[in-house]
Structure 1
Amino acid sequence: MSYDYKEDEELQELLRKRAAEEQKRLAQQEAQRKQIQEQKEAILRSIMTQEARLRLKNIELVKPELAEALKDQLIALARSGRIPTPITDEMLKQILEQVVGSQRRDFKITIKERGWK
């Protein structure tokens, strides 16, 4: 049984092509993600004061998921006209309290006495 090097070269070429296509697809996805992020930032710059943007950046450092959800919510509220622009730091604090307050769960701990006094 002889080994055919030509088939091996063809296989390697197919693998290289597939890897190149995958890299291209990933690069396109990354470029699209960056473009969307830049659009969000541009919208936020236009609807928020500098102090509010600074507070949002600080939140993003501590809780990135919360900051991203808050950004999406602020953009949606501004687009629908349900919130006056520019959004000030005080308005952002109020919105943040509502968002965090709705996510916070109250825990009630009850201690039942056992019979081992």
Structure 2
Amino acid sequence: MDDDPELEAIRQRRMAELQQSQQNQAAQQEQAKQIEAQKQSILRQIMTPEARDRLANVKLANPNLAASVENQMIRLYQGGRLQQQITDAMLREILQSMVPQEREIHIERR
């Protein structure tokens, strides 16, 4: 059975595209791992072990909030505005300020 040369060329191009796509995905994953490792390294420098444990617990419950806090602390560190390590008490204050206060709803019946 003779394969059409045009069809074979299309197959070859498609295989090359798939391989390129896989390579790009692998490179993006590697870059994401490196960025995460850098973030964790900075957080180890600027936070006490207790604060890191609390942040890890927050990350399990609310990943978006934890990421926001991490990014804020890293920006402060890179801007030179952190004079000391973040303690557990300081982290609790930061978290309380970032979590919106729950509003109580009152229903009046008339």
TM-score in terms of structure 2 length: 0.88
In 2, Cα distance between equivalents of 1:109 and 1:9: 71
The corresponding residue for 2:103 is 106
Amino acid at match of 1:75: I
The corresponding residue for 2:6 is 7
The corresponding residue for 2:23 is 24
Do the aligned partners of 1:59 and 1:67 also contact (CA within 8 Å) in 2? yes
Q: Give the fraction of aligned pairs with identical amino acids, expressed as a percent.
A: 38
Q: CA RMSD in A?
A: 1.7
- Structure 2 segments unaligned to the other structure (5+ residues): none
- Runs of 4+ deviating beyond 6 Å: none
Residues 98, 105 of structure 1: alpha-carbon distance in 2 compared, 3 angstrom cutoff: same
| CA offset digits 1:11-41 (Å, max 9, x no partner) | 1100000001111111111111111111100
Alpha-carbon offset, residue 48 of structure 1:
0.5
Residues 107, 5 of structure 1: alpha-carbon distance in 2 compared, 3 angstrom cutoff: farther
The corresponding residue for 1:79 is 78
In 1, Cα distance between equivalents of 2:15 and 2:88: 52
Paired residues in the alignment total: 109
Query: Whose radius of gyration is greater, 1 or 2?
Result: 1
